[in-house]
Structure 1
Amino acid sequence: MGASLMEVKRRIVSTKKTGQITGAMQVVSTAKLSQIQRHTQSYQIYASKIRSVITHLAQSHLLDAKAGNAKQSSEDGSSKFSGFDMLQKRPVKKSGYLIITSDRGLVGSYNSNVIKQSLDLMKQNGCTVDNTVIIAVGGTGADFFKNRGYDVAYEHRGVSDIPTFIEVREIVRSMVTMYNSEVYDELFVCYNHFVNSLQSDFHSEQMLPISEVNLDTDSEGIEVPNAMGNEDYDMEPSGYAILEVVLPQFAESLVYGAILDAKTAEHASSSTAMKSATDNAKDIISSLELTYNRARQSAITTEITEITGATAALE
């Protein structure tokens, strides 16, 4: 009985320590969630403005890819890569998927949901290991697809808890370079969209080539109203020169917005998972303490009975 009591007591102490750790992790994740939500709100203003500019130019018929490339070639006589290359559509031989996961566990069903839903989307689009290229942001996704034989053409690990715009530029540059080099002919982004602290939904969006579908809806699939109207306006420099600069920024805004959204969902999922773990630890401790007290009471009762019996025998 003594050994059993000691074992229960050790489990109580161990579970309390685990609960303290998960409780601290919950506090940290909640703090990170609060910080990134404030950051995301300010960024959404920029993303909305650049989408508005691109949409306005599209409605002014300035997003004709052939016309844009012809204009660019006539101005500098070169065939170098330009922002207009992101508008070029071609027959799809290989599809690219930018999949955003976390680098670590302890985030509940966050990673498994993204991976499962991404695989379902690939299957729906007729993608296989042979005709699919993976761009992985996050170690969990990168390792998963590598282990299953997929071509992981690019991976980025160690995204900051509050991602910066500079981090995204390298990812966008690699994405566009691979698209221009025909590593893939279309690109989708897949990630968990933050709804609230208790819910996140899988979201996917075609990013390349840029089309009016990308422009007419925001990152949550909501139609973007045309607040600027359809009137003509003067531009300096030319509309093509403006698009040359704005199109890459638009691609950057899409990727950065997706990573911010995914990181927000990750922190929320981590906070929820750690809260659940802490609550479970409390329940286990309560059950173990009840078991310990019952065993201790039983041991004391047994000792009293033995003493009483011995006393009676002496008399």
Structure 2
Amino acid sequence: MSGAKEIKDRINTIKNTQKITNAMYLISTTKMRKAKNEYERTKPFFDMLNQEFSRMLRRVDSVDSSYFYTDEEKMGEGGAGREVCAIFVITADKGLAGSYNSNVIRETERLMKKYKKTYLYVMGEVGRAYFYKHNIPMVESYSYPAMDPSLHIARKTASAILTGFDEGLYKDVFIVYTNINGITEVVERKRILPLNRRRFLERIGPGEDSYENYEFYPSFTDVIDNVVPMYLAGFIYGAMIDSFCSEQNARMTAMNSANDNAEEIMSELSVEYNRVRQAAITQEITEVAAGAKALRRKKKKKTGEAVS
């Protein structure tokens, strides 16, 4: 059994660790609130862009654009048997967030097994460190942190992905990120290129299609091809914000669990400390009582010898 001093030192150590976890919990709360506020300022623009994009697609029977699936490719289902794809992966820059990073990496590896070759655009130091350690090639020119999601980074990401798509390096583009579903984090895997016209048409609700016909200049394809980069940047920015908020939520959950565990351990240590302390006090009292008893015996013995 440990001594009272050792137990007291352990309790003090846990209290100091608890101060750190409490601070990390509060920091994550602040970061998540700030990121949501930034996203809310830009969300109306991209919501309107999606609506107009859907309305434009409704005015034509088919889309002759390299950014959309053709009719022969079954409206985007099944990937049309392609062998090369690009994957934009969003991880965190650090750990202490439960299974947040491992879930994203696991989903990415499952997707990679379906293609013979993949171009990885990895955001976040944890993801880059993992793929580098396992000798999985990444697009070296792409290296952005995940701790500060911004529209500027989303636009540069969309531009980098579209450049490879336009050059014919790959014909399928996916994004793997984390979204908050209620109070839990869920890994999302979505195909962002080629686009599926049918899914845009399904977004139009009742009463949203009352506008007059559009006139496209110089052509419908040119207009669509110019709108796609903005749409893609908005989607990526939303995914970055969702991932960042999910990371902070996962870290808050991990820190809250650490605090609960610390409270439980301190409770057990307090009981053990009181037991050891009580045992020490009892031993001291026993020793004092035994000493007093011995002194009384010695004094009584000396008194008896003096009388005789």
Deviations 1:90-134 (A, max 9, x none): 8623121111110100111111121223333444xx23xx52221
* TM-score under structure 2 length normalisation: 0.83
Indicate conservation of the 8 Å contact 2:91/2:146, yes or no.
no
Counterpart among 230, 239, 250 of residue 258 in structure 1: 239
Counterpart among 173, 192, 202 of residue 207 in structure 1: 192
Q: Secondary structure at the match of 1:153?
A: coil
Using a 3 Å threshold, how does the CA distance of structure 1 residues 149 and 251 change in structure 2: closer, same or farther? same
- How many Å apart are 1:145 and its aligned residue? 2.2
Residue pairs, 1:107-118, within 5 angstroms: 107-118=97-108
RMSD: 2.5
Q: Is 1:159–2:146 an aligned residue pair?
A: yes
Residue pairs, 1:53-202, within 5 angstroms: 53-61=52-60, 64-65=63-64, 84-87=65-68, 92-123=82-113, 126-127=114-115, 130-154=116-140, 155-161=142-148, 163-196=149-182, 198-202=183-187
Larger Rg: 2
Counterpart among 264, 271, 278 of residue 283 in structure 1: 264
Indicate conservation of the 8 Å contact 2:21/2:259, yes or no.
yes
Partners of 1:286 and 1:56 in 2: CA distance = 62
- How many Å apart are 1:5 and its aligned residue? 1.6
Indicate conservation of the 8 Å contact 2:92/2:147, yes or no.
no
Q: Which runs of 5+ in 1 are unaligned?
A: 66-83, 218-222
Using a 3 Å threshold, how does the CA distance of structure 1 residues 47 and 87 change in structure 2: closer, same or farther? same
Q: Which runs of 5+ in 2 are unaligned?
A: 71-79, 297-308
Match of 1:311? 292
Partners of 1:270 and 1:180 in 2: CA distance = 38
- How many Å apart are 1:289 and its aligned residue? 1.6
- How many Å apart are 1:306 and its aligned residue? 1.1
- How many Å apart are 1:16 and its aligned residue? 0.3
Alignment coverage as a number of residue pairs: 285
Indicate conservation of the 8 Å contact 2:67/2:225, yes or no.
no
Structure 1 moving runs of 4+ over 6 Å? 88-91
Deviations 1:280-315 (A, max 9, x none): 212222221221111111111011111111211222
Indicate conservation of the 8 Å contact 2:158/2:232, yes or no.
yes
* TM-score under structure 1 length normalisation: 0.81
Q: Secondary structure at the match of 1:146?
A: helix
Match of 1:268? 249
Partners of 2:27 and 2:94 in 1: CA distance = 15
Among all aligned residue pairs of Structure 1 and Structure 2, give the percentage whose two residues are the same amino acid.
28
Partners of 1:206 and 1:149 in 2: CA distance = 25
Partners of 2:28 and 2:213 in 1: CA distance = 48
Deviations 1:124-147 (A, max 9, x none): xx23xx522211111112222232
